[in-house]
Structure 1
């Protein structure tokens, strides 16, 4: 390439590695992408779902509640007190919504989840939607 590739380009290549089942190159790209943009929780989910895609039961569970996985990675890969941002292309379920409120209070973190309809900003055990969505 004539320009330095953006993390989005690397993410596209990572997806292509998944489609073509090229695990070796995918691992290298995954490492590079997470180093370039460690705060992007979607990359961790993308890598995890790829690694578990050989097992359909695990893949289904992750796709349904990926925000729990994203917040777990966020908690383990960021400094205490850092906010966590999660983008989801499905509605957040009530259980995940309650978990995010609980985690925000326990770990003193602001967790912002964006689903297809709402922004949910959990802080100090409460959500900005006032549990209405």
Structure 2
């Protein structure tokens, strides 16, 4: 290969790499409460929507794990509530049923594996029990 051909091949490969979309990052996702205000008491429904910020599209197929529900928004981090994942039919919405024992602010802390994302995504979603 001549040096001119090599230079052109290098330029073409650099241009192709620059044009390729960058990979997603954990900061490209937002975790939002479907409804901030929830019912206080046993069997309260909590729903979280995961959105890919650059596209605005809901994220389906995420695996949520290491969830914790506590009252840290009201400075009572030791006050926790039992909760279980529930099925959801809405794209990008992840539901939980919780036994909220007190009115006030509740933080649902999540770790998620999002399709196409190599790193674990962490988030805290705030709800208000009334």
For the aligned pair, the TM-score class normalised by the smaller chain equals under 0.3
**Higher Rg:** 2
Please state which structure has a larger fraction of its residues in strand.
Answer: 2
* Structure with the higher helix share, 1 or 2: 1
With the length of structure 2 as denominator, give the TM-score of the two structures: 0.24
Question: Which of structures 1 and 2 has the larger relative contact order (alpha carbons within 8 angstroms, sep 6+)?
Answer: 2
